[in-house]
Structure 1
Amino acid sequence: MTIPDMNLLTALDVLLAEKSVAGAAYQLGLSASATSRTLTRLRLITGDPLLVRAGRKMVLTPYAESIQERTRLAVRDVLDILQPNIQPLDLASLERTFTIRANEGFVETFAPTLINHFAKQAPRVRLRFMPKQQKSPEALREGKVDLEIGVIKNMGPEIRVKALFYDRFVSVVRKGHPLDQCKVVSTQEYCQFSHIIASRSGDFSGPVDEELKAQYVTRHIAATVPSFPAALEVARNSDLIALVPASFLLNEPLNSDSSSLWAFELPVRTKDITISMMWHPRLQLDSAHIWLREQVDKVCQDALKNRWF
């Protein structure tokens, strides 16, 4: 199929409005001869003269009159498509459901503040939090998820990314544990006790074990659970040492008389964890989505201002 030159549509709109080759040439920023050639092409394509001379001026043919309004609207629609006009958000009337995929720890730590924040600013906006069953960009690509939060892994090159904060692993024990109140724990003390770790795949080793191996020591991992909140709960009710990201403890009154948990630094150094938010580029310029990203970033930064880690 031969596709007509879309520039002709703009020229047709101006010619029908000006009813003059010279006037249209001025509006289009072209020479009179170039505009005359464009009119000739339009006449060949439409099979209609469009503009005909009547004394000293030119007038529209019946066909030209019948398409003038359609042409004007068509040009306006094309410009709206190619030059989107991003309108300011009216948060009070904004009705939208945002789907956010994040792990349980992020939801438990940040979702309450985020939901309250949205309720005050945009009461008609709804948030749907979904679990991270697998790290894949497909949900973002298919529009099933608006925002993904977590560690970047196996995401496509087109996915947009912004770092929210940096995290690291810490150890947690119950109050009354032999390591309770210890601010510095040696490798030997750390490995004297059994451990609980979170692993979706059920693995009994991780970055900490690699670092311990380099020091020719090992720890006994008594059990694995699917999530970090579950690991915390086990540690709260046993003598096992839990390994969790420090951000998961933001809402815990840690290392105080009112807390049931005690946290301390690992005896080995592991790499920091970058927590990011990810979205598909089709939402890059969506004003509501821009606002969503700004709010998630703000809530995270505000929560982390007084962090202990």
Structure 2
Amino acid sequence: MRRTHEWGYRVAEELDLNLLRVFDALMDTGSVAKAAARLHLSAPATSRALGRLRRAMNDPILVRAGRGLVPTPFALRSAATVRALLDAADRLRTDPTDSDPGSWRRTFTIRLNDALVPVIAPRLTRRIAGEAPGVRLRFLGQDSEEPDPLRDGSIDLDVAVGNPPPPDVHSSPLFTDRFVAVVAADSELGRAPRLTLDDLCRHPHVSASRRGLARGPLDAALEQVGRSRRVAAVVPSYAVGALMALEDDVVCLVPRVIAAHLVGRGVPLRYHEVPVDLPTADVELRWHRRVHDDPASRWLRDRLRDALRPLTAGPRPTGSRAGGAHAPTT
């Protein structure tokens, strides 16, 4: 046991924040050259820092795999801890309680449902860049809904649709979304005053599914009324599906918040209410209780809500039905 403690003290003495920043950049880029460019260092200096990290941590950190480098299991396990340490050090240096966000130099990591990445990422980045140019945002895909990354500081915020969070995770509703049908604005369906059930079943569909599924909640709803649709293509994201709908009389169902974002950016699309009942999805903002009263976390939460407000309070789509819903992603 004493030998273990002595090794731990030696590691703590040999590592400093600059070395940990090199570790973080190497893990983020998987490349000595790219890490050097990010840190404004020379490649030889970054390579020497990697050597010091290997000696201090008693681990190779990155090993050669073909033409690239891959992290060791130890490095993967350590990445979240190092990121949390760097963020904690940044908070100590900038003292967000007393200083302007414009003086901060830190990274916030946000996990997003893939349906929301094209909506939240550009809007939030624009707001943050204008108010706090030293703040960097890192957006991660929602490969899982596990709360552990919130607990260990790997992520700062989670924008989620799913089961209720555990007791140690706070949540706040952002909006309730629903599916709408996007079509090309200059197509027959785009010029129509509303989308009928016959329109929905007659025209080909693009199915957006990160799991590659052609069936979803719409198919179940159509079967309830004895109808069906024809799926001509399956794509991995709603943004791609919406752009494919620019072709004449192709239908793609996407969350209303994405449709409103694209139309608001001048993409020649129109979106209609879907003439069948579909489930709703409550989109929540989540964070761990350890940062509930942290001024920087509170500032970020407020900015994210502000970035979404123009879309979540936007006009309703055309169509004959009130209501409708954004079904869970497939």
Name the SS of the counterpart of 1:116 in structure 2.
Answer: helix
| Correspondence 1:195 to 2:233 | no
Aligned match of 2:310 in 291, 299, 302? 302
Report SS of the residue matched to 2:176.
strand
The residue correspondences of 1:68-79 to structure 2 (distance < 5 A) are none
Q: Residue 113 in 1 paired to residue 123 in 2?
A: yes
Residue 278 (structure 1) aligned with residue 309 (structure 2)? no
**1:154-177 Cα shifts (integer Å, max 9, x gaps):** 743432111111211000112443
Residue 251 of structure 1 and its aligned partner are, at CA, apart by 3.0
Q: Identical aligned pairs, as a percentage?
A: 32
Which residue identity lines up with residue 286 of structure 1 in the other structure? Answer: D
2:31 alignment counterpart:
none
Aligned-pair CA distance for 1:135: 2.7
Give the drift of 1:223.
Answer: 2.3
RMSD, aligned α-carbons:
2.5
TM-score, L = length of structure 1: 0.65
Distance 2:180 2:311 in 1: 18
- Which of 135, 150, 159 is 1:140 aligned to? 150
Q: Give 1 or 2 for the bigger CA radius of gyration.
A: 1
CA deviation after TM superposition for structure 1 residue 204, in Å: 2.2
* Distance change >3 Å, CA 249–CA 185, structure 1 → 2: closer
More displaced 10-residue stretch of structure 1: 193-202 or 245-254: 245-254
What's the offset of the Cα at 1:218? Answer: 1.2
Deviations 1:120-148 (A, max 9, x none): 32222111111222332232233211111
| TM-score where L is the length of structure 2 | 0.61
Residues 260/168 of structure 1: CA separation in 2 closer, same or farther (3 Å cut): same
Q: Which residue of structure 1 lines up, in the alignment, with residue 180 of structure 2?
A: 170
Name the residue aligned to 1:241. 251
- Counterpart in the other structure of 2:194: 184
Unaligned runs of 5+ in 2: 1-94, 318-330
Kindly tell me: are residues 203 and 237 of structure 1, through their superposed partners in 2, closer, same or farther at Cα, counting changes over 3 Å?
same
Secondary structure of the 2:297 match is helix
Residue type of the alignment partner of 1:226:
P
In structure 1, what is the Cα distance between the partners aligned to 2:125 and 2:292? 22
**1:1-309 → structure 2 map (5 Å cutoff):** 87-153=97-163, 155-237=165-247, 239-253=249-263, 259-309=267-317
Deviation at 1:297?
A: 1.1
Listed as ranges, the gaps of 5+ residues in structure 1 are 1-84
Give SS of 1:236's match.
coil
CA distance in 2, matches of 1:223, 1:157: 41
User: Which has the larger helix fraction?
Assistant: 2
